Amino acid sequence: MKTQVKNRVLRLTIGTCSGSAVALLLSDTAFRFHFNFPTAGFLELLIVVLTALKFGFWEATGCSFIAVACLDYFFAPPIYSFHVADPKNWVALVTFEIIALIVSRLSNQLKNEIQESQLHRRNAERLYELGRSMLVRDRQKLAGSEIATLIQKHIGVVSVVIFDACAAEFYTAGDCTKEDEDLARSAYLLNDNYHETESSKWHRVLRLESAPIGGLVVVGDDLNLLMADSIASLVASAFERVRSFEKETRAEAARQTEQLRTTVLDGLAHAFKTPLTVILTSTSGLFEMKSLSPPEAQLVGMIDEHAKQLNGLTSHLLQMAKLDSKEIRLHREEVLVPSFIHQVVNDCTNRLCGHPLHLRIEDESLTISGDRQLLTITLTELLVNAAKYSSTDSPIEVSIQRDDERALIAVHNNGPEIAYGERELIFTRFYRSPTVKHRASGSGIGLSVAKRAAEAHEGRLWVNSSPEKGTTFFLSLPAMIGSEYADLGE
C-alpha cells in the first residue's frame, strides 16, 4: 500500500511538472511569434487535454493553472504582469480554466473507460484460458495442486492456497506461507469473503450451490472483486467434476458387485434346490413307511423341519434374483384381497408361533391386479416377521381398507420398537437390527424380497413403530376400479 501511494505521488509530480513546463514553453514561443490571446489559449488547452490523456485529471488540473498564469503574464494587458486590467480578460481566463477542467475530466474518464475495458478483456481472456485448461484435463487425474498451479499460470498471481474441506487438505502454488493456509481454512469455517487491501489478498469461500466446500486465498495486485469471485467459482466447479467422477466410479463398482453377488446367490440357490428336494422327499417317504421308532421319527422330523427352512431360504434367494432382473414380468391376475388374505393366513397358521390373529376387513370387494405368487410371499413374510418379534401371546392384527384408489394392508404386532434410523435399513438385503437379531432366527432377506415385490407392483412397503403402539408394516397397492374389471372381463 505504501509503495502504491509513493508511486501515485511521483506520477502526480512528474505529470504536473511536465505539463506545466510544456505550457510555459508554448506560451513563450507563442508570444515570440506574436500570437494573439485566443490562439494562445487554444494551444494551451491542447496541452492540458494531452496531459489529461497521458497522466490523469489531477496532473491536467495543475497544468491548467500554470497555463492560465502564462496567458495572463504574456497575453493579458498589461503583459509581463499578473495584474489583469480589463474585466473581459478576467472572464476569458476564468472561462478558459473552467473549459480546461471540464475537458480534462472528460478526457480522463474516456481514458479510464478504455483502460477498464482493456482490463476486462484481459481478465476474460485469462479466465477463459483457466477454465479451458481445467476442462481439457482428465477429471480422473485433475488434482487440487494442479488446479492451484493452473491459477497461478493463467491468472498471473503471486500465490494461491486452496483448502479442500472434504479431504481436509491444502493445495498451494507460488510463495505461500502457513498464514495463508490458516486464512484459507478460516474463510471456509467463517463462511465469509474478505479482501486485504494492504497485502492484496483475496479470501473466498468455495461453494457448490449454497453449501461451502472449502476456502481460497489468492494474492495478486491485478485482481478485482469479479475476478476473485470467478476464480472461486471455477475452482469449485473443478472440484465438483472430480467428485462426480469418483461418485460414478463408486456407483459402477457397487453395481458390478451387486450384479456379481446376485449371480452367485442365484447359482447357489439353484444348486441347493435339487439336494433339498431329495432330502424332503426322503423324509416324507420315511414318515409314510411308519416303521420308525420314536427317537428315529424325532430325528427325521428335525431333518424335515430344517430342510424346509433351508428350502424357503433358497426360494427367497431365487425370488430376489428374479426381482433384481430388469426383465421381470408379473403374471398379473385379478386378486380379491379379502379372500386372498384369508388363504394366506390359513396357509401360515403353523408359523405364527401360537399368536392369535385378528383380521379386520373394511371393504369386502377390494380387488387388485397382481402376481399372486409374489403377493403371497410378501404377505407371508410380514405375518411371520410379526410373529417372530411379537411379545409372548400378544395378538397379530391385520387390517384391509381402501385408501382413495389404493388397497392398504396393515400388519401390526406388539413387539420391540424399530429405531427411526433403522426403518429403511431393515428393507436392505441381509440387514438385521443388532437389538433384535438374537431374539429370533433369520437371514435378513425376507423384508428386502417383500419390498422389491411391492415396488414391482407399483406399490410401497413401509413401517411405523413406537414403544406405546407397537410396530405396523403397511403395504399399499393400486386398487382396481370399475373400468379395469371390464377390461379383464373382455
pLDDT of residue 334: 92
The average pLDDT across 444-448 equals 77
CA distance 490 to 480: 15
- Give the percent of the chain with pLDDT over 90: 12
Asked if residues 147 and 131 have their Cβ atoms less than 8 Å apart, the reply is no
All residues at 6 or more sequence positions from 388 whose CB lies less than 8 Å from its CB, including other chains: 353, 439, 440, 442
Band the pLDDT of 30: cuts 50, 70, 90: low
For 332-379, the pLDDT digits (tens) are 899 999 999 999 998 888 888 888 999 999 988 999 999 888 898 889
* CA 409/CA 388 separation, integer angstroms: 19
- CA pair distance 355, 411, nearest whole angstrom: 13
Cell, residue 490: 373382455
The residue that leads in pLDDT, 472 or 229, is: 472
Does residue 477 carry a pLDDT above 70? yes
Which pLDDT does position 178 carry in this prediction? 87
Q: Which of 372, 400, 389 is nearest to 457 (CA)?
A: 372
Residue 489's pLDDT is what? Answer: 46
Question: What pLDDT, on a 0 to 100 scale, did the predictor assign at position 440?
Answer: 59
Q: Please say if the pLDDT value at position 380 is more than 50.
A: yes
Residues paired with 359 in a beta bridge: 398
Q: Does domain 140-248 have CATH number 3.40.50.2300?
A: no
Is the confidence at residue 411, as pLDDT, over 90?
yes
pLDDT digits (tens, 9 = 90+) for 64-99: 777 777 776 777 777 777 676 667 767 776 777 777
The residue ranges of every structural domain in the chain are: 2-119, 140-248, 267-324, 332-489
Q: What is the pLDDT of residue 373?
A: 83
Mean pLDDT of 162-176: 86
What's the pTM?
A: 0.43
Mean pLDDT of 216-221: 88
Question: Looking at residue 483, what is its pLDDT?
Answer: 47
Tell me whether the CATH fold assigned to 140-248 matches the one assigned to 332-489. Answer: no
pLDDT of residue 478: 92
- What pLDDT does 460 receive? 93
The pairing of beta strand 332-336 with beta strand 367-371:
antiparallel
pLDDT over 90 (residue 396): yes
| Top-level class of domain 332-489 | alpha beta
107-151 tens-digit pLDDT: 777 777 777 777 778 878 888 888 888 777 766 556 778 888 888
- Is residue 399 over pLDDT 70? yes
Residue % of the chain over a pLDDT of 70: 77
Residue 20 pLDDT > 70, yes or no?
no
